[in-house]
Each structure stands twice: as structure tokens, then as C-alpha cells.
Structure 1
Amino acid sequence: MAGKFTEQGGAATMDPSLLRRWVTSRLLNRLTDPGRRNAAAARAEQQRLQTGAGHIVEYFHQLDDPYSLLAAQCIGPLLAHYDISIRWHLVPGPSGANLPEPELLPALARDDAVAAAPFYGLQCPPLFAPSAALLQRAQRIFSATPEAGLVEAAEALSSAVLTNNADALDVLARRHGESSDAERDAMLASGEARRTALHHYSGAMFYYGGEWYWGVDRLYHLEQRLQALDALRRPMNACLYPRPPIRTGPRRDKGTMTLEFYASLRSPYTALIYDTVVSLARESGINLVVRPVLPMVMRGVSATRDKGFYIFSDAAREAAALGVPYGPFYDPIGEPVRRCYSLLPLAEAKGKKVELMSSFLRAAFAEGRNTTRKRTLKRIAQRAGLSWREAKAQLGKSGWESALEANREAMYAFNCWGVPAFRLLDSNGATLVTAWGQDRLWLVAEVLQKTLAEAAQQES
């Protein structure tokens, strides 16, 4: 329930002052401005040319991270096709406020990596919770391995850790050697210090020329940048790891399947994918059930400044790639979100819940409108097809909180705590797939098409 959560303060404040809201919005708009990002990339290239350095990509590998297992498989092909060198860093996983649900993320990541890998042409066997002893040994082997051997060893070590394969580690130790605990700790500390200095917190991260790229899912951004710089070892007219398309055909459902869409009104990733989700459901003929939840900060989940900045800048980059409107932004955290949620009972009764959330997200994330103002909420409500007279009478009332808490609990039940999240159900209400993140909507679409194809085959 909304009332049980307390103010986090710091970078995670849920009810900022008017001045702080304005300053935060200005700062995030500056951070996510495409012109500023392009200018920063140009400066980085100019500095590289002035120093005579090559194209150096720094990579931060976390041995117990499923996404690092996938990312490591990409490095050999990247080196073969692009005129780059890799600077390796061994890092521990995120911690503290950068890891809000430490029990949920590892399980979700294991399932997600297995599901996503084939669509990128990668291998990922069934993964398990790793043994601490095996992880520590793998870290010692990694730290003993020369950089030239890490292209092969990193993937093998991660695979051994995540499949609890002690025999594989024995083989790798004989091949590469094994450092002392002190040497391992020094390498981990060095990698973490470098990552912190560059303002990040996660594993499976690539860093090039002032910009971060998360795992295989963001490599297409890095590839496009390298191609624009002609940093190629061979001619290329496509990316090695393109973002999978969100398929809406060729098959269409007849309203037998349901897509549950967990969304919040302050999530940049929700904002950039919201209307695409609505279009996918409409064009695919499935039922769409939008299940709103409170933003994480408003339900007691704190966030660091580095994490927040990365999420907002990455969302802007993803929105540009998808060709969806994003920016200017005016932060709706706190009271504006609660006031819009207070309109949900009315919107649902009028069949306008989907439209209300779309209208609010567009105002906050694509139009830069100040949602603390009543006239902005009036515009949002009317654009969604609601009567402002009725909406004004409902504004600020309670009664919506229990539904949002039920949605949160349902989301947590499939190991997910953040939005956007998805659950695709068959005609009997059984789960076909669950997924987290705007960059997994394509996976939902793939499972949908596969299910429809199998049903058609059974009928023929």
C-alpha cells in the first residue's frame, strides 16, 4: 500500500520540492539530449585521434552473471569484425541500492538469458544458482589468465560457475593456472574501482568513448558507432547482434490469449514502450490487461544517482532507435503520479485506463509538461477521453492503492520487481512466458507467434 512506504531521501526522494523537481528535470533533459550525446562522442573520437590510440573497448565481466556469459561469447566475433581491442576487467556484482532485490535478480537473469540467447545466435545451457566456492575459484583462474586467453576463458569460466561444473574448472585451472586469493581480490578491487570511476555498477558492461553498453542487448548501439567511425576489419552492412524485431504477424489470435502489462507512470522504459505494447496487442488480436504499480522509489526501493542517470540516458537512446517520441521530460514522481492513479477507478469504469496512462506518460516523458499543475492533469484526462468534471471530482481520492499492491505482488510472484514487465497467458490462464524490460517485448511477440503456429498446426 502506498501509505506504508517511507521517504528514501537523497537521489531516491519520492516527493521532491518544486525547485528540486525542476532542477532534476532540467538535468535529465540535458543528460539525455541526443545532440549532447553526439557531441560527446565526437569529442571522444577527436581525443583518440590526437593521442594516436586505437579503438579501445573496456569490458566488465562478472563471472556469476548470466548476461556476462552471453556477452563473453560476443567478444571473439567483435574482435574479428571490428578494429578494436578489449581491455578486460573482472568485477563483482552490484550491491546495496544498485541491487534492490538480491533474491530475485539472479533467478530472473538466469531464466532470461536462457530464453534470449538463441535469438542472438548464442549458447546458454540451463543455469543454476552458483556455488560461492566455485565462483571464487573461477575468479582466481580468471585473474591468472593473460588477456589474450580471456576471449576463450571468460565464457568457459562463466559457464562452469553458472552450471556448477567443478570438473570444467579443474580443466580450466590446468590450462590457465590459478592465482592466489590476494591476487584475485586485487583484480576484483581494480575492476570495481574502474567501473565506479566511470559511474556504473553492473556486470556485462561495455564502455567505449564515454558511453556504456549493457550486454548483448546494447551491442547494436556500439556496433553502429564503430561502423560510423569505419573501425572495421572487414566490410559490413549489418550488425552482428541487432536488436530483434517486435513481430506482430503473420498470425493473429482471436482474443483467446492475454498479455498482462505491468507498468508505472515514472518509468522511462515504460514510457518508451507503452504505446508499442498497446499496438502489439491490438494488431495481434490478444487481450491486453494493463496492471499499474507504484514506481520503485515510491514503494521504498532506493536508487543511486549513477543508476538513475544510466537508466534515463539509455532509455533515450533506445527510444531513438525505436523511433518513438521521448523528451523533453518533466519529473512526475510523487504526488502527480498518485493523483493520476487516483483517476484509475474512473478511467477503468469508462474503459479508458489504457488511454489515461498513455496520455500521462506522453505528457511527462515526451512533452515535458509539469504534471504538478492541475491544468496539465486536465489536459491529460481529456486527451484520454475522460470528462474533466468527473475526473476533477475523483482527483486525489483513495481507493486505488490496494489494486496496485495486488499488481506488485503478482509481479513479484514471477521473480520480477521492476517495470515494464510482461506475462503472456493462454486461453486457460496458464503462463506462456514472463519477461522483464522493454527490450524483451520482442520475446513476448516471438512466444505469441510460436504458440499461434503450434495451435494452427494442431487444427490442420
Structure 2
Amino acid sequence: MTLTADLYFSFRSPYSYLAIGRYRRLTETNDVDIALRPVYPIAIRDPDILFTNALQGRYIFIDAARSAQMLGIPYRWPRPDPVVQDMMTRKVSEDQPYIYRLTRMGQAAQRQGKGIALADEVSKIIWSGEVDDWHEGDHLAGAVARAGLDLAELDAAIEAEAEELDAEISTNQDALAAAGHWGVPTLVFEGEPFFGQDRIEMAKWRMEQKGLTAR
């Protein structure tokens, strides 16, 4: 029997990036279907609570980089950041040309059953440091194609159905809270949340208790 789970994910979260490829591999090597449930980052949902402690942002920068180093995952803070924000003042710009498009794209891809693949491929070009200016040229189109989708078709869908996609994303955010957490990445399996890129093995362990088998 194929197991199912939901992965709550943000394109602005370094820990989501560090987790997504490993969750994708889990679905490729084991009989489990993980649905992508993209959410808007805290900077968009509730900027007033973002980095209320001045130490929080500094710690995340340090910890994400060393976690990537330990895991052997290429990593660099995005250029540009998916959320336009002054990191000194923490002020979030009213003009956000990237994060709405990316998040809606993830939701549109999930409608086609390819959310995890798209999130993985797009996150790589944003976070790996392997390309500069991920938003320009054909970087994004190439990443979307590697996930088995077409960027022009996705962009047309998110332009035509932005309100519907945002309603689905809002539902994702409500479902994350209902599952007992607020942060990403959080995998929810049979109602149990597993928060963080360091809980993947624990989530797999729980799945194995419920009959997870290799493909």
C-alpha cells in the first residue's frame, strides 16, 4: 500500500531547500507519495514577528550554512533573495516580484502531481549557488523543465488563477497550523508533524512502522 504525507514548504526557507531533495529521494526509493503544500514565508504572512530577536537571523544564517556543509549540499544565500527585504532593518518591501510567483508555481505544479519535483529543481537554482541571477535567462525555465513541466504554461496558470491558487495556499497554511506547527519544512504523516530538515530520518522511521516498503 502506498503511504501518503504532506510537506509544508517555503521557497524562502533555507531549511526547506536542505530537506526537499532528500524527501524527493525518499519518494523515489520508497512507496510513499508526498504532496507539496507550499506556504508563504513568515516575512509575507506576518512580517511583524520575523526576527523579533536580533540573534535569530544571525543564527539561521550560520546554522543553515553549516548544515549544508555537513550534508554535502551546495548552498549560498540566494541572489536575489526570493523575498525583497532590507536585512539590516528587517523591513519587507511592498513590491515582491518573486515569492508570489514561486509559491503559486509550486501550488500549480502540485495540481499536476509534480510539486515535489518542481520544488526540488527550482530550489536548487535559487539556493545552490551554482547560478547567479536565478530569476533571469533560462535558469527557471530549465529547472521547471527538469521537473517535467513547462514554465510558460505554469506562468499562464498562475496569472489566470492567482486568486484560486492563493486560496489553496491559505488552506495549506491553515492545515499546517491544524497539524500542530507553524514552521517549514514540516512533513505531516498521519496527522503527526515532523518539523525541520533534521527530522527526515525520524519521519521515515515512523513510516516504516506503518508499513513503508522500498520501491
TM class, shorter-chain normalised? 0.7 to 0.9
Partner of 1:261: 7
- 1:175-209 deviation digits (Å, cap 9, x = unpaired): xxxxxxxxxxxxxxxxxxxxxxxxxxxxxxxxxxx
Matched residues, percent identical? Answer: 27
Pick aligned residue for 2:17 from 263, 266, 271 = 271
Tell me the distance in 1 between the aligned counterparts of 2:37 and 2:155: 23
The runs of 5 or more residues in structure 1 that have no matched partner are 1-253, 426-430, 454-460
Pick aligned residue for 1:408 from 159, 173, 182 = 173
Task: Using structure 1 for the length normalisation, give the TM-score.
Answer: 0.39
Q: Which has the higher helix share?
A: 1
Higher relative contact order by CA 8 Å / sep ≥ 6: 1 or 2?
A: 2
Partner of 1:386: 149
Q: Report the residue type matching 1:414 in the other structure.
A: A
What's the secondary structure of 2:211's corresponding residue? helix
Tell me the distance in 2 between the aligned counterparts of 1:292 and 1:388: 18
Q: Cα distance, 1:290 vs. partner?
A: 1.3
Tell me the distance in 2 between the aligned counterparts of 1:374 and 1:340: 16
What's the secondary structure of 2:198's corresponding residue? helix
Partner of 1:354: 116
Q: Report the residue type matching 2:211 in the other structure.
A: L
Native 8 Å contact 2:24 2:117 kept in 1: no
Tell me the distance in 1 between the aligned counterparts of 2:211 and 2:155: 44
Q: Report the residue type matching 2:146 in the other structure.
A: R
2:182 is equivalent to residue 422 of structure 1: no
Native 8 Å contact 2:75 2:127 kept in 1: yes
Q: Cα distance, 1:261 vs. partner?
A: 0.8
2:59 is equivalent to residue 310 of structure 1: yes
Native 8 Å contact 1:269 1:419 kept in 2: yes
Q: Cα distance, 1:395 vs. partner?
A: 5.0
Q: 1:387 to 1:450 in 2, by over 3 A?
A: closer
The runs of 5 or more residues in structure 2 that have no matched partner are 84-95
Q: Cα distance, 1:349 vs. partner?
A: 4.6
Tell me the distance in 2 between the aligned counterparts of 1:307 and 1:297: 14
Tell me the distance in 2 between the aligned counterparts of 1:406 and 1:269: 22
2:33 is equivalent to residue 287 of structure 1: yes
Q: Cα distance, 1:375 vs. partner?
A: 4.0
Q: Report the residue type matching 1:353 in the other structure.
A: G
Tell me the distance in 2 between the aligned counterparts of 1:407 and 1:346: 13
Tell me the distance in 2 between the aligned counterparts of 1:388 and 1:293: 20
Q: Report the residue type matching 2:143 in the other structure.
A: I
CA-based RMSD: 2.3
Native 8 Å contact 1:332 1:372 kept in 2: no
Native 8 Å contact 1:264 1:293 kept in 2: yes
Tell me the distance in 2 between the aligned counterparts of 1:451 and 1:384: 29
Native 8 Å contact 1:267 1:295 kept in 2: yes
Tell me the distance in 2 between the aligned counterparts of 1:378 and 1:264: 19
Tell me the distance in 2 between the aligned counterparts of 1:388 and 1:407: 23
What's the secondary structure of 1:381's corresponding residue? helix
Tell me the distance in 2 between the aligned counterparts of 1:374 and 1:299: 29
Matches within 5 A, 1:5-44: none
- 1:107-149 deviation digits (Å, cap 9, x = unpaired): xxxxxxxxxxxxxxxxxxxxxxxxxxxxxxxxxxxxxxxxxxx
Tell me the distance in 1 between the aligned counterparts of 2:112 and 2:6: 20
2:71 is equivalent to residue 322 of structure 1: yes
- 1:284-336 deviation digits (Å, cap 9, x = unpaired): 21121111111111101432253122112201111221222222632111421
Native 8 Å contact 1:335 1:372 kept in 2: no
Which of 358-367 and 263-272 deviates more? 358-367
Partner of 1:53: none
Q: 1:374 to 1:294 in 2, by over 3 A?
A: farther
Count of residue pairs brought into register by the alignment: 193
What's the secondary structure of 1:382's corresponding residue? helix
Tell me the distance in 2 between the aligned counterparts of 1:389 and 1:361: 18
Task: Using structure 2 for the length normalisation, give the TM-score.
Answer: 0.79
Partner of 1:298: 44
Tell me the distance in 1 between the aligned counterparts of 2:179 and 2:108: 29
Q: Cα distance, 1:346 vs. partner?
A: 4.4
Q: 1:285 to 1:411 in 2, by over 3 A?
A: same
Q: 1:414 to 1:378 in 2, by over 3 A?
A: same
Q: 1:434 to 1:344 in 2, by over 3 A?
A: closer
Larger radius of gyration: 1
